[in-house]
Amino acid sequence: ENINLDYSSDENTEDEEEYNTPDLHNDIHIWAIEHDIKHDALTKLLHILRQFPMFQYLPLDARTILETPRHIDVKPMGNGEMWYHGVKTVVCKQLEQLNLDNLPKISIRFHVDGLQVFKSSKIDVWPILCAIDELPNIPPQVVAIYCGNGKPSCVSEYFEKFIPDVQDLIRNGLKIGMHHIIVSIKSFLCDLPARAFVKGTVYYNHRYGCSKCTVEGENDPGPRMSYPTLNAPKRTNESFRRRQDPSHHHETSIIEELPIDMITAFPVSDDLHLLHLGVMKRLVLGWMEGKFNYHSKWPAAITKKVSRRLVKLNYYRPKELHRNIRDLNEISRWKATEWRTFLMYTGVVILKDILKEDVFYNFLLLFCSITICESRHYHHLLPVAEAMLQEFVKTYIQLYGRDQIVMNIHSIIHVVDDVRNHGPLLSMSTYPFENELQSIKKKVRNGNRPLVQIARRQMEKSHVDLLKAKKG
């Protein structure tokens, strides 16, 4: 008699349960993409779930739940094929889910580079990636991908759809809802071979290969081309477009149709390739293996001493360093971030009594100048960094010889100009783009039409990005 049965809320119970039930369809979609679940494994999972009545609404095939496109528009090109997704398509998808009240204009960074898909094959992919400078937390997106034997044979054909797409964005901007957004190009980030391909210039080991100045290479002291001149006249957009240095040009690139500065829009100060895998790696290997001269060569005992000190630093490793510090026995497997750690953190600590005084002074010039260039806080010291980098190359010549000034070492003198035009080195870093390249490589699961596989995985991923944006 004292039991009170209240059924007043029964009418809403069913609606509340339906409202609070997670969207399993979308959650499985997101989970499968984030963890790179293969189609056959996902299909098997769906068949297991479908055995229960409550999951009868789920599809039977992975391609349905992932919204995998049936047709991918791939165009034959040279020795391969090209898939073009579109700059406007990619940028709109990134912006549609954002609050655009405080984003009246955007500047886009593009990245072009190639990578080998299979170790036992000559198949390469050359993606065009883009990132919005004002949205650094959004990872780079795929605009287009070429896949074939080696690099694309024709730069004009490679950028055939890209150029009018970008021209339209620059001319008309983007209309998203009630917002009109102005679009500009910030930069093209490429390594040395890719930059020469995109600009239609000679390669970096050519006598007139520097993209920033008119230095003339020398190869008299040895077999390699060196560039020891420090005060060569700088190239300008006007001199480039007028072909004032015809020996620097290999062909006319379709990129010149864009309203960009053909010199400043192509920075050479890519920290990954120029500094970490370039200059720093060259220095350490030169000291260890005696590639420079006996004056700077490390005896075996010194190499072991440096290794011990590197390992010992793990006890004091700052939280900014996410990798354990490895010794020199593992140097052939060091990643680019480990070379950065040596340049910016550990090297200056352990090399003071290892290197001879003049060699250590040369390293300190590099360390101090790059420290200035990495932070906006030291922007007022850029003239000091510029003088230091000039001195670095001068003392490098004195220590190791004129024939050791390869293009990476020569390009050091142009770093400060790039920082003035584009901001700190982080603004020109290709680390995020290289991470995306590795992600693209993982999308190839077998040797059957790798470009179509990448395109389909990319379209599936773009659907997930939208789902996550709606959830968040």
pLDDT digits (tens, 9 = 90+) for 129-165: 999 998 888 889 999 999 998 889 899 999 999 999 9
Residue 232 lies in a domain: no
Query: Measuring CA to CA, which residue among 283, 95, 297, 105 is closest to residue 184?
Result: 105
Summarize the confidence of residues 2-23 as an average pLDDT. 45
Higher pLDDT, 318 or 209: 209
Residues 262 and 276 in one domain: no
Residue 324 lies in a domain: yes
pLDDT of 364 over the 70 cut: yes
Contact 205, 225 (CB under 8 A): yes
Burial class, 276, CB count within 10 angstroms (exposed 0-12 / middle 13-18 / buried 19+):
buried
Q: Residue 226 to residues 284, 401, 409, 452: CA-CA distances in angstroms?
A: 20, 10, 9, 43
Residue 86 lies in a domain: yes
Q: How many structural domains is the chain composed of?
A: 3
Segment 189-230, tens digit of pLDDT? 999 999 999 999 999 889 999 999 999 999 876 678 999 999
Q: Report residue 205: phi and psi, to 5°.
A: -95, 10
Residues 337 and 467 in one domain: no
The pLDDT value recorded for residue 120 is 77
- Domain boundaries, position 128: 74-200+251-267+430-471
Residues 416 and 339 in one domain: yes
Residues 397 and 282 in one domain: yes
pLDDT of 8 over the 80 cut: no
Residue 372 lies in a domain: yes
pLDDT of 472 over the 60 cut: no
Q: Residue 206 to residues 229, 403, 404: CA-CA distances in angstroms?
A: 15, 14, 15
Residues 449 and 465 in one domain: yes
320: pLDDT confidence band, cut at 50, 70 and 90?
confident
Task: Average the pLDDT over each of 38-42, 177-181, 260-264 and give the range with the smallest value.
Answer: 177-181
427, 444, 460 - which closes a domain: 427
Rounded Cα–Cα distance for residues 456 and 462 (Å): 10
Rounded Cα–Cα distance for residues 84 and 173 (Å): 20
8, 41, 66 - which closes a domain: 66
Residue 228 lies in a domain: no
Residue 227 lies in a domain: no
Residues 196 and 292 in one domain: no
Placement of tokens 């400060």 in the chain: 416
The pLDDT value recorded for residue 20 is 40
DSSP 254: G
13, 42, 66 - which closes a domain: 66
| Model-wide pTM > 0.75 | yes
Residue 120 lies in a domain: yes
Residues 142 and 162 in one domain: yes
Cα 139 to its chain centre, rounded Å, is 10
Query: Measuring CA to CA, which residue among 84, 88, 66 is closest to residue 74?
Result: 84
Residue 139 lies in a domain: yes
The pLDDT value recorded for residue 18 is 42
Farthest-apart Cα atoms in the chain, separation:
109
Rounded Cα–Cα distance for residues 216 and 225 (Å): 10
Residues 106 and 117 in one domain: yes
Residues 310 and 409 in one domain: yes
The pLDDT value recorded for residue 467 is 61
Segment 43-95, tens digit of pLDDT? 999 999 999 988 888 899 999 988 888 888 899 998 899 999 999 999 988 88
Distant-in-sequence, close-in-space partners of 71: CB < 8 Å, separation ≥ 6: none
The pLDDT value recorded for residue 13 is 42
Residues 102 and 177 in one domain: yes
The pLDDT value recorded for residue 469 is 56
Contact 141, 111 (CB under 8 A): no
Residues 315 and 413 in one domain: yes
Residues 462 and 416 in one domain: no
